[in-house]
Amino acid sequence: MQNTEVWINIKVSKLGRLFFLLAYACLIFIIIHYQHPLSYWLALLVLLQGGWGWRQAFGTAAPLALLIENHELYLELASGQLQILRPPLLVHSRFFLVFQRSGVFAWPWLLWPDAITAKEHHQLRYFLRSWY
């Protein structure tokens, strides 16, 4: 078996950031206009969760690149750490990947491979088929 090493950059979309902010702003707007005494506390909780979600999606815990090395899949985070990814991969295509992360508060990660060459795309497809 050949030693394959593929490094794939992850694109952070401005549209994704805008949609994230818009979704949380709409949710907070709806909660505040509900006119219930506890609605402000609920809006604060949603705001805190949104801040944590922003950190996970675009901050120091955000994914920067995928590394495929010796039939292992690693994710490089913005903090410089390498995190190993395990199955299941929920969805994969040429344009995006959805990984289920481990952990209590872990939401699935939607990743966009940026500027994949044909060779990298072939290696990534081959790896994802053999991953299970």
User: 51-107, pLDDT tens digit by residue?
Assistant: 888 887 778 777 778 787 777 788 888 888 888 877 666 666 666 667 766 566 666
- 108, with CB counted inside 10 A (0-12, 13-18, 19+), is middle
Residues 7-28: tens digit of each pLDDT: 776 666 677 778 888 989 999 8
Q: What pLDDT is stored for residue 48 in this prediction?
A: 92
- Given this model, what pLDDT does residue 3 score? 53
**Residues sharing a CB contact under 8 Å with residue 64, sequence separation 6 or more, in sequence order:** 9, 10, 76, 77, 78
Q: How far apart are CA 50 and CA 56, in angstroms?
A: 10
Tell me the pTM.
0.60
Among 131, 123, 107, residue whose Cα is nearest residue 7: 123
pLDDT of residue 1: 44
The yes-or-no verdict on residue 108 having pLDDT over 50 is yes
How many structural domains compose the chain?
A: 1
Per-residue burial over 25-62, b = 16 or more CB atoms within 10 Å of its CB, e = otherwise = eebbeebeeeeeeeeeeebeebeeebeebbebbeeebb
Q: Which residues pair with 99 in a beta bridge?
A: 89, 109
**Residue ranges in the chain assigned as alpha helix (H):** 14-32, 39-58, 118-130
Per-residue model confidence as pLDDT tens digits over 23-46: 899 998 988 888 888 888 988 999
Domain that holds residue 70: 5-130
Tokens of residue 106, six digits:
């872990």
